[in-house]
Amino acid sequence: MKPPKRLQPLVDEGLIDTVVRQLMSGKEAMVFVVRSGGETLCAKVYKEATQRSFRQAVDYTENRKVKNSRQARAMAKGTKFGREKQEEAWQNAEVDALYRLAGAGVRVPRPVNFHDGVLLMELVTDADGDAAPRLNDCEFTPEDARRHHATLVTEAVRMLAAGVVHGDLSEFNILLAEDGPVIIDLPQAVDAAGNNHAERMLMRDVGNLAAFFGRFAPELRKSEYGAEIWSLYVAGSLTVDTPLTGRYEHKQGAVDLRAVMREIEDTREEENERLRRMAGG
């Protein structure tokens, strides 16, 4: 296909040989399948962030570094320059998190390059070599649900051990590759130690996993891996090899798990409604 305008500079630079097809278009970005040096990759072309709420922006960007005080003031005021710098910060957050997590062995797409607002990375494929489906598009046996849930809980631990919380982990941004789940979409990733909302976000991420896979293996809905993982992290005793039980005795003043689960359900309903609108359009 003819290269879209945003991909033409990468073609001119020799970073992309050909654009094969558009893979998807979401609220954050458009993704294309491309060829580069004999390898099939995907190119994530970021859209302007016009659909994120102010609350989300504040929660996710807390303690993120900007280059100077002028940029920080502009971002706080919401000026055109500030919005441009905020969008740049969101893009850089995903790129930084992707490289960081790939280096830590987390199951994320292998990053290749970032140029002019376009992220080149590995194309995650299924057993037939086609683009891997999202978990939301898959059905599972109870056994497979438990297996994939265990894998993803381990990946959440591996991410936290690397100092990162995904912040928006759900069945909508996990792909099912030939060798298991792969985590994608990281522009909202937060620093676990530097963001006051990190605990709530981790609880929601892990709660999303329990809620989704609990459709196929109902006992997972009762697990409390999020609280267990965070308590071990705070105590400085969390490693990738730490055995987990999925049980946790809540202390007074702890995160309100019911409130977190309500937020999970609200988020899922909003995403389902968005997908229904897209299908109807």
- Of 17, 126, 137, 168, the active-site residue reads 168
User: For residue 93, what pLDDT is reported?
Assistant: 81
Facing residues of 174 across strands? 183
User: For residue 92, what pLDDT is reported?
Assistant: 81
Decide yes or no: CATH 1.10.510 for domain 8-280.
yes
Give the amino acid at 60. Y
Sign of the four-CA dihedral 89, 123, 206, 264: positive
User: For residue 152, what pLDDT is reported?
Assistant: 98
For this structure, is 168 an active site residue? Answer: yes
- 136 Cβ contact partners less than 8 Å away, ≥ 6 residues apart: 171, 172, 212
User: For residue 257, what pLDDT is reported?
Assistant: 59
State which residues of the chain have pLDDT below 70: 48-90, 252-281
Q: Where are the domains of the chain?
A: 8-280
- Of 17, 59, 185, 205, the active-site residue reads 185
- 163 Cβ contact partners less than 8 Å away, ≥ 6 residues apart: 100, 191, 192, 193
Distance CA 238, CA 244 (A): 10
CA distance to 50, 142, 204, per residue, from 170 (Å): 21, 18, 9
For this structure, is 126 an active site residue? Answer: no
User: For residue 28, what pLDDT is reported?
Assistant: 76
Each residue's pLDDT tens digit, 81-106: 545 555 565 578 889 999 999 999 99
Q: Which of 80, 82, 83, 59 is nearest to 69 (CA)?
A: 82
- 5 Cβ contact partners less than 8 Å away, ≥ 6 residues apart: none
Distance CA 199, CA 207 (A): 12
Distance CA 66, CA 276 (A): 37
In degrees and rounded to multiples of 5, residue 88 shows phi and psi of -60, -40
Instruction: Find the helix or strand (DSSP H, E) in which 12 lies.
Output: helix 8-12
Each residue's pLDDT tens digit, 32-63: 999 999 999 999 998 765 544 444 455 555 55
Kindly tell me the burial class for residue 200, based on how many C-beta atoms sit within 10 Å of its own C-beta (0-12, 13-18, 19 or more).
buried
* pTM confidence score: 0.79
Vertex 227: Cα angle to 226 and 230 (nearest 5): 85
Distance CA 35, CA 131 (A): 14
